[in-house]
Every structure is written in C-alpha cells, then in structure tokens.
Amino acid sequence: MADGCACDRHVHMYLTVAEALRRGLSVAHPVTGIETLPLQQAIGRVLAEDCSSKVDMPAFDNSAMDGYAIRTGDLGDGPLFDLPIGGRVAAGDSGAHDAPAGSALRIFTGAPVPPEFDAVMMQEDCEASATHIRFARRPRPGQHIRRAGEDLKAGAPILCRGCEIGPREAAALASSGHGQVRVCRKLKVTIFSTGSELRQPDEELSPGQIYNSNRYMLLALLDKPWVDLTDRGPVADDPDLLEQVLREACDTSDLIITTGGVSVGDEDHMPRLFSEIGGETDVMKVAMKPGKPVMFGRRGDALYIGLPGNPVSAYVTWRIIGSPMMARRAGLRRPRLVSERGVLAEPLQRLPGRQEYRPVRIDGSNSDGRPRLRLLAASYSGRVALLAQADGLAVIPAETGYLPEDHPLEFLRF
Ligand code: AMP
Ligand code: MG
C-alpha cells in the first residue's frame, strides 16, 4: 500500500481510493466566473465571496417579550409596584411615544424600546387593567431588552465563500442586508451513457438490450441549481459517433461525465478516444469494489470523468470520487465524505484486496446505540435496484478479510 498503490491478486497496480481522490481533487479547478444575482435567484447557488453583516443585529434596542417597558428609576420601594400605562409601541413602529415620566409603555416583541426605558416586564408577570399595571417583583435593569448589535456587529463575518445557499444561508444573508449576492457561475456539465445495448425505460426491449439506468441516475445526481446540464442521452458503441460527441462535450463543458466503455474490452472506446482528441488521462484504475474501471482526465479546461457502465459501480464511484471532484469544480468548499460508525449485524467474510463499498440496511441498534448494519448481497454489482433498498454503503477497508458480528464498521448514509 506504499506510495498510494494497492495490489490485487492479479499483477496490475491500482491506485488506492484515497490517492485517486487526492489526484481527482487536485485537477478539479474551481470555475472562476462570478454572477451577481438578487438573493431570491441565488438560492441553491454557490456563494462566491465571504460575506459579512451590513447591519448591526439586532439593528436597534427591542423588546424580547410582549409586556410593558418601564423606567426602573420610576419604581418606589415596593413591595408592590403600580404604574399608569402611558403609551403603546408595536413591532414596526418607530419608537416615538408620548408616555409621560412615571408611566409604563405597552410594548410587543420586536418593538423598539425607547432609550429612556431600561426594562421590560413580561405581561405574564403583571396584573393589568385598562389604565394601570401592577407587579410584585422588581425588574433587573436591561431585563428582556435585546440590545442593538448584541448578536452580531456590522462588519462581522457571516458566511464563507464556497457554501451552497440553502435555507439557513439565505436567511443569514437576508437578515444582514444582502439583497444582491455574488455567486459562482453555473457549472456546464454534459452527460452521456455509452452502450449499444441501452434502451429507454418506456421502450420495448429486443434480445440483448437493457434499460438505461445510468442516464436517469446521473440526471437525478446532477439536478442542482448550480449545474447547467446538457444531456446527450445514450450513445452507441460506435467510435466515430462517440468521438464526435466527446469532442463536442469537451469543447463546450466544464465537466463531462460518461458511463460505460472505460474497461479493456474491444467495445470500451473511451480511454483511447479521449487520448485521441488530445485528452490527458490522470487516473485509470482504482482499487475499489465496486468501481474499477473508472477514469478521469483533462482536455484544456474540461474535466472528464468516465464512470463504469455497471450502474452500482457507477453510483459508488460517483459518490466516492466523482461527486467531490464536481463539488470542487463548481466552487464548493465541502468537508470530505462524512462517515458514521455502525456495527455488523452478522459476520463478514470476503477476499481482501480492494476497498469495498457494500450496500447495507440499518437493522435497529446495538446496546451502545450504534446502528446495526445488515450487509446486502455480496455479488451485487449489476443489481442497482438493491441500492434503492439500502440505507447506506459500508466501507470495508482493503486489507479486511473477516470481521465478527458486532464488529465496528464505518458507513456512509445515503
Ligand atoms: P461497460 O462498462 O460498458 O462494459 O458496461 C458494464 C456493464 O454495465 C454491462 O453489462 C453493460 O450492459 C452495463 N451498462 C452499461 N451502461 C449501462 C447503463 N447506462 N444502464 C444500465 N446498465 C449499463
Ligand atoms: Mg459498454
């Protein structure tokens, strides 16, 4: 396993998953174009610059409760306090009032607290008539007042570039006065699935034909507001046709993703064609199961990822290697894949050699509260429907051969 390579039982050398991913990320350069959009159109896009608050939050002293603003200096010795109600301020009012000295001000949550008032009494703690309030507990100065800038001062950082503008980010941007947002331009992605055997799911199958799963899987995986997708559909294993589509895709896209045709069979044309049109291949084989063969490379600014044809392999390689590369290319800064720890619901026996990603179902939890992972069939690489019944992928290290029941195991939740 030294220098990032792993040997399987055959003599070929493969890259480890970690090394392949490292190389993939190192060639996935973030797009540089930036657009400025109104916040409502920027939702789901990738933030292109660090943002700080344009205003103090809150912007002014305001009431945290429905109740009565008072001047604590007006209060006598107690034990019971009695104040006339001299005015009223609600959220959205300017805070102007005509409550005379010695009176309380009816106030509501979010309403500005005028500067001379220094505490708010919760209405639940007051006995109120139409004209007076009475209460027994002396309020603390500052009680139930949210001070201007106490959450965040103008100029304080709120978001780092490279995040996806989701609900929390959109609210943060809005609350701090960002009506216009600078986002990375959309990533131009072209997909096609290679294979003369492929038919659409609404067509009749003739002998030797199968339904095209990968096209729909990729359509779903790439359904993102920051992707500008060109779907070239299926392309037959005809070298001239494949070359034309691949060349066109490389000329017009930031990222090209294909499935199939990257292995060593006579009909596996993609590695040769990519090199013939001037592409430079960075990675050809990765010691992962399922997954090999997978390739990626560059041609000019275009990044090419050739996923295996086998749909489960295509999904797994996408999840482990392709998706982080695409995220980086789109300008996203994301933590690496986050795995969780479960335990085996049954013993595991397999041939060591390649890092394996095995679909698992979560079957309750053990006495420590760890999810119990039930492994789905070992020979699964063509059974893509199994993925839809799984809850995640267990990560089985390359060197692992046998693990007993209840042994800890990392898994990636879907
Ligand atoms: P390949 O990598 O092209 O040799 O394909 C490997 C296996 O995956 C073959 O059995 C193909 O028929 C199958 N396959 C390739 N592409 C697709 C696809 N888009 N949808 C479903 N199966 C596919
Ligand atoms: Mg094929």
Sign of CA dihedral 159, 162, 168, 170: positive
Which protein residues have their CB within 5 A of the ion that is ligand 2?
A: 195, 260-261, 309
**CB of residue 293 inside a 6 A radius of ligand 1:** no
CB distance 58 to 150 below 8 Å: yes
Pick the CATH number of 6-33+186-330 from 3.40.50.300, 3.40.980.10, 3.40.630.10, 3.90.1150.10: 3.40.980.10
How far is Cα 398 from Cα 354, in angstroms, rounded to an integer?
4
As given in the structure block, the two tokens for residue 155 are 């100029």
Same fold, 62-146 and 340-413: no
CATH dotted code for 340-413? 2.40.340.10
Pocket test for ligand 1, best of 209, 210, 221, 305 (most atoms within 8 A of CB): 210
| Superfamily grouping for domain 62-146 | Molybdopterin biosynthesis moea protein, domain 3. (2.170.190.11)
Pocket test for ligand 1, best of 258, 292, 310 (most atoms within 8 A of CB): 310
Q: How far apart are the first and last CA of the chain?
A: 29
**CB of residue 267 inside a 6 A radius of ligand 1:** no
User: Residue 191: which of 293, 95, 314, 301 has the closest Cα?
Assistant: 314
Q: Is 21 helix (H, G, I), strand (E, B) or coil?
A: helix
pTM of the predicted model as reported, rounded to 2 decimal places? 0.89
Tell me the CA–centroid distance for residue 413 and ligand 1, in Å: 25
| Backbone angle region of 200, left / alpha / beta, with phi > 0 → left and psi within -120 to 50 → alpha | beta
Count Cα neighbours of 29 within 13 Å in the Cβ-side half-sphere. 10
User: Residue 196: which of 215, 210, 186 has the closest Cα?
Assistant: 210
CB distance 195 to 212 below 8 Å: yes
Per-residue pLDDT of the chain (414 residues; tens, 9 = 90+): 334 444 444 435 789 999 999 999 999 999 999 999 999 999 999 999 999 999 999 999 999 999 999 999 999 887 899 999 999 999 999 989 989 999 999 999 999 999 999 999 999 999 999 999 999 999 999 999 999 999 999 999 999 999 999 999 999 999 999 999 999 999 999 999 999 999 999 999 999 999 999 999 999 999 999 999 999 999 999 999 999 999 999 999 999 999 999 988 888 999 999 999 999 999 888 999 998 789 999 999 999 999 999 999 999 999 999 999 999 999 999 766 789 999 999 999 999 999 999 999 999 999 999 999 999 876 555 678 889 999 999 999 999 999 999 999 999 999
CB distance 361 to 218 below 8 Å: no
How far is Cα 99 from Cα 101, in angstroms, rounded to an integer?
7
Strands 295-299 and 280-283: antiparallel
**CB of residue 242 inside a 6 A radius of ligand 1:** no
DSSP string for 101-127: TT-EEEE-TT-B--TT--EEEEGGG-E
* CATH architecture of the domain with residue range 35-57+153-184: Alpha-Beta Complex (3.90)
Q: Where are the domains of the chain?
A: 6-33+186-330, 35-57+153-184, 62-146, 340-413
